[in-house]
């Protein structure tokens, strides 16, 4: 049981975590902090949080666990402002979609408290944002990746693991570097491609007709281009060292495809499509 949970950034992810823990009776009191009081009042009205904190000092007071759930680009400033108010024994965790830069920011800001920071990332979400989209079941049967460092306190990591398990998630651990590479390919790259495709199509003169006649392919492929632009700008910038080589590799592979189509080379196309289909059908086991 968590006595006092503080959520910094009561949006889709922070709000869903609070809802899940409340629903299961795993938390006594939830405090929320954000920039916009109206959003926090909405969260109180929805029963997601009990109180809104006006300052980070107030947010940190007597908290057992502080969950930082703001866009990745805002995490360093939150860590810096949060640290002076933290009490002994308070565990800090985050949900940021990129881990290496978040850990560096935590090291710089938290100092001696760094062992009580447990980096995390739930592999769950939707293209919607804000507390209105939060859902108590968002993490059920989903994965949460924790990327503890050698200095991370074992009991702190165990507490964060237990918290996520209480939401119905499966918790796994890996290094932050591995996380950022895996997520660059499985999440960050697809988002870039979806944004790029919609942006390309919308510049066409007949784009209205294209959107009006869009069926499964366009809808499925571009759903994630409805995701929050600030969040994705921050992820791109934070993980650029990993993401740029993947974007370049994708561009090269598109070159192969263009050449095959141009040359009418059905053999190359069939081989490529069959290999991709086989891989997707066999490797994407939890396709929901
Ligand atoms: P969201 O719905 O937009 O929520 C973000 C919340 O943070 C908002 O409630 C916002 O409230 C608050 N906020 C933003 N900047 C802030 C700042 N500087 N100081 C204090 N509060 C701030 O976004 P989300 O989807 O929950 O994403 C939150 C984090 O989870 C991000 O780091 C993202 O990378 C990660 N994540 C997202 C997904 C996903 O699919 N969406 C999945 C896994 C992890 P105010 O505007 O009222 O301040």
State the distance from the centre of ligand 1 to the C-alpha of 34, rounded, in angstroms. Answer: 9
Give residue-wise pLDDT tens across range 129-163.
999 999 999 999 999 999 999 999 999 999 999 99
Atom of ligand 1 nearest to the CA of 36: 47
Provide the CATH number for the domain around residue 100. Answer: 3.40.50.720
* pLDDT computed for residue 125 by the predictor: 87
In a domain, 97, yes or no: yes
Cα radius of gyration rounded to whole Å, the chain: 21
Can you give the pLDDT at residue 285? 77
Centre of ligand 1 from the C-alpha of residue 75, in Å: 10
**CATH number of 269's domain:** 1.10.3660.10
pLDDT of residue 287: 54
Span 225-238, average pLDDT: 96
Same domain for 29 and 103, yes or no, is: yes
> Looking at the structure, do residues 216 and 257 belong to the same domain, yes or no?
yes
Calculate mean pLDDT across residues 192-198: 97
| Residue 273 in this model has a pLDDT that exceeds 70 | yes
23-65 tens-digit pLDDT:
999 999 999 999 999 999 999 999 999 999 999 999 999 999 9
Q: Kindly indicate the confidence band of residue 261, based on its pLDDT and cuts at 50, 70 and 90.
A: very high
Tell me which of 174, 203, 221 is where a domain ends. 174
3 state DSSP class of 56:
helix
Nearest residue (CA) to ligand 1, atom 39: 125
How much is the pLDDT for 216? 86
236 inside domain: yes
Q: Kindly state whether residue 95 falls inside one of the protein's structural domains.
A: yes
Question: Cα(236) to centroid of ligand 1, in Å?
Answer: 15
Ligand 1 pocket list (CB less than 6 A)? 9-14, 34-36, 39, 69-72, 74, 78, 95-97, 121-122, 125, 129-130, 228, 231, 235
Whether 206 maps to a domain, the answer reads: yes
Q: Residue 133 CA: which ligand 1 atom is closest?
A: 2
* 140 neighbors 237 (Cβ within 8 angstroms): no
Residue/partner pairs of 210-218 with CB below 8 Å, 24 or more apart = none
Residue that is last in its domain, among 174, 199, 224: 174
> HEC states along 253-284?
HHHHHHHHHHCCCHHHHHHHHHHHHHHHHHHC
Judge whether 288 lies within some domain. Answer: no
pLDDT in tens, 209-219: 989 888 889 99
Q: Whose CA is nearest to atom 9 of ligand 1?
A: 11
Q: How far apart are CA 95 and CA 3, in angstroms?
A: 20
Report how many domains make up the chain.
2
Query: What's the chain's average pLDDT?
Result: 96
**Closest C-alpha to 144, from 104, 96, 177, 188:** 96
Q: In this structure, are 82 and 225 located in the same domain?
A: no
Domain that residue 205 falls in: 178-283
Residue 161 lies in a domain: yes
End residue of a domain, out of 129, 157, 174: 174
């Amino acid at each position: 049981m968590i006595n006092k949970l503080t959520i910094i950034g009561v949006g889709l992810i922070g709000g869903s975590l609070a809802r899940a823990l409340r629903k299961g009776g795993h938390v006594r009191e939830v405090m929320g902090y954000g920039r916009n009081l109206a959003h926090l009042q909405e969260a109180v009205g929805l029963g997601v949080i009990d109180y809104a904190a006006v300052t980070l000092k107030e947010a940190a007071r007597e908290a057992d666990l502080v969950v930082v759930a703001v866009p990745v680009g805002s995490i360093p400033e939150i860590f810096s402002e949060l640290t002076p108010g933290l009490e002994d024994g308070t565990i800090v965790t985050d949900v940021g979609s990129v881990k290496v830069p978040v850990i560096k920011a935590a090291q710089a800001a938290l100092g001696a408290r760094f062992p009580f920071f447990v980096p995390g990332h739930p592999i769950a979400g939707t293209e919607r944002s804000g507390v209105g989209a939060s859902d108590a079941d968002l993490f059920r049967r989903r994965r949460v990746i924790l990327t503890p460092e050698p200095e991370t306190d074992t009991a702190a990591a165990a507490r964060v693991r237990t918290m996520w398990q209480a939401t119905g998630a499966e918790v796994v651990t890996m290094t932050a570097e591995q996380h950022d590479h895996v997520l660059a390919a499985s999440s960050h790259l697809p988002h870039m491609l979806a944004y790029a495709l919609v942006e390309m199509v919308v510049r066409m003169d007949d784009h209205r007709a294209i959107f009006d006649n869009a069926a499964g392919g366009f809808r499925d492929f571009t759903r994630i281009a409805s995701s929050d632009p600030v969040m994705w700008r921050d992820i791109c910038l934070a993980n650029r060292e990993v993401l740029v080589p993947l974007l370049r590799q994708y561009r090269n592979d598109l070159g192969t495809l263009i050449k095959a189509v141009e040359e009418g080379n059905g053999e190359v196309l069939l081989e490529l499509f069959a290999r991709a289909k086989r891989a997707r059908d066999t490797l994407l086991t939890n396709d929901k």
